[in-house]
């Protein structure tokens, strides 16, 4: 694990939420326009997520969830406003620095799994370490550990087409966490799963969070969102509510 992208410690320690090194995500009036004429997919969103949180970003189709995920995941830069991820201002980093930040600090899980079909579970997961410069045998060793962690120690050499949807998503989650990223982003992780597999994937995300990973789940599924401690609801690109059941209001 490189120290390059270790959390930047703020020297001022103001104690406020803004600028604190304890925050993994700090969005300040972030806007993202797509296309021409521009469509405002994310509209002046301010959102702070502290290290160790587990939250849902919930909203209907077209509300801007994936656009927001792309900003949080540093796959995209804001049109305006400021996005700080792991203490780094996304607007000021080069593409190469953003790639390195992603490789070291962020794991992604998508609705469509995005696994290589003809490749074993171990090698699918081992691929998650390529950008960290880890050698093949060490990648495989860590992949076995990650697969065991997600309950797939008995499916190491299976290929995705020999697995259920729930198992595939577990492989995808193992790949996302094999490099121990502090932040895990999941975009509709249960969208292609039956209810039982979906529930067990959500339980797995809870377990990863309990072990210390900050987890953001993007979903249109209000019931799923209600199983998470914090729910940020977006509509038309704007945050319309932010409910945290851990804190008494
Ligand atoms: P969600 O994930 O909640 O369905 P998206 O972030 O995908 O929402 O989309 C939000 C809005 O931005 C929608 O109106 C969508 O049509 C528009 N949009 C998203 N991506 C693009 C793009 N690349 N070009 C143009 N419009 C886009
Ligand atoms: Mg989406």
Q: How many domains are contained in the chain?
A: 1
Query: For residue 245, is pLDDT > 80?
Result: yes
Per-residue confidence (pLDDT) for residue 131, from 0 to 100: 86
Contacts of 53 (CB under 8 A, 6+ apart): 24, 209, 214, 215, 229, 230
Q: Where are the alpha helices (DSSP H) in 153-213?
A: 165-177, 195-210
CB-side neighbour CA atoms (13 Å) of 174 = 32
- This prediction has a pTM of 0.90
Confidence of residue 246 (pLDDT cuts 50, 70, 90): confident
What are the distances in angstroms from CA 57 to CA 10, 67, 226?
27, 12, 11
| 134-152 per-position pLDDT tens digit | 999 999 999 999 999 999 9
For residue 209, being part of any structural domain is answered with yes
For ligand 1, say whether the CB of 37 is within 6 Å of any of its atoms: no
For ligand 1, say whether the CB of 39 is within 6 Å of any of its atoms: yes
| 64-85 per-position pLDDT tens digit | 999 999 999 999 999 999 999 9
Residue nearest to atom 23 of ligand 1 (CA): 34
What is the pLDDT averaged over residues 223-233? 96
pLDDT averaged over every residue in the chain: 90
Rounded to the nearest angstrom, the distance between the alpha carbon of 70 and the centre of ligand 2 is 10
How far apart, in whole angstroms, are the C-alpha atoms of residue 180 and residue 185?
Answer: 13
For residue 139, being part of any structural domain is answered with no
How far apart, in whole angstroms, are the C-alpha atoms of residue 21 and residue 42?
Answer: 25
How far apart, in whole angstroms, are the C-alpha atoms of residue 90 and residue 30?
Answer: 11
Confidence of residue 89 (pLDDT cuts 50, 70, 90): very high
Residue nearest to atom 13 of ligand 1 (CA): 62
Query: For residue 109, is pLDDT > 80?
Result: yes
For residue 134, being part of any structural domain is answered with no
For ligand 1, say whether the CB of 67 is within 6 Å of any of its atoms: yes
- Residue 32 sits at the vertex; the CA angle it makes with 30 and 35, to the nearest 5 degrees, is 170
CATH number at residue 98: 3.40.50.300
For ligand 1, say whether the CB of 234 is within 6 Å of any of its atoms: no
Residue nearest to atom 17 of ligand 1 (CA): 41
For residue 153, being part of any structural domain is answered with no
For residue 129, being part of any structural domain is answered with no
Domain limits for position 96: 24-113+163-244
| 155-189 per-position pLDDT tens digit | 999 999 999 999 999 999 999 999 999 999 999 99
For residue 149, being part of any structural domain is answered with no
- Would you say how long the chain is, in residues? 249
For residue 98, being part of any structural domain is answered with yes
For residue 109, being part of any structural domain is answered with yes
């Amino acid at each position: 694990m490189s120290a390059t992208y270790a959390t930047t410690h703020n020297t001022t320690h103001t104690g406020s939420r803004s600028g604190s090194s304890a925050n993994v995500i700090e969005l300040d009036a972030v806007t993202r326009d797509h296309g021409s004429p521009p469509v405002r997919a994310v509209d002046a969103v301010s959102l702070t997520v502290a290290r160790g949180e587990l939250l849902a970003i919930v909203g209907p189709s077209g509300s801007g969830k994936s656009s927001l995920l792309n900003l949080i995941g540093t796959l995209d830069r804001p049109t305006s406003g400021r996005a700080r991820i792991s203490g780094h201002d996304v607007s000021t980093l080069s593409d190469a620095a953003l790639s390195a930040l992603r490789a070291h600090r962020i794991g992604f899980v998508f609705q469509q799994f995005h696994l290589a079909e003809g490749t074993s579970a171990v090698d699918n997961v081992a691929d998650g370490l390529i950008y960290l410069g880890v050698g093949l045998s060490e990648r495989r060793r860590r992949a076995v550990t990650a697969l065991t962690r997600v309950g797939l120690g008995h499916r190491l050499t299976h290929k995705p087409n020999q697995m259920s949807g729930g198992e595939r998503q577990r492989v995808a989650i193992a790949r996302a966490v094999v490099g121990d990223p502090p932040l895990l982003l999941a975009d509709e992780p249960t969208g292609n799963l039956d209810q039982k597999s979906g529930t067990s994937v959500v339980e797995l995300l809870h377990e990863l969070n309990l072990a210390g990973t900050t987890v953001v789940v993007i979903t249109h599924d209000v019931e799923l969102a209600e199983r998470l401690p914090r729910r940020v609801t977006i509509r038309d690109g704007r945050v319309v509510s932010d409910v945290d059941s851990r804190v008494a209001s």
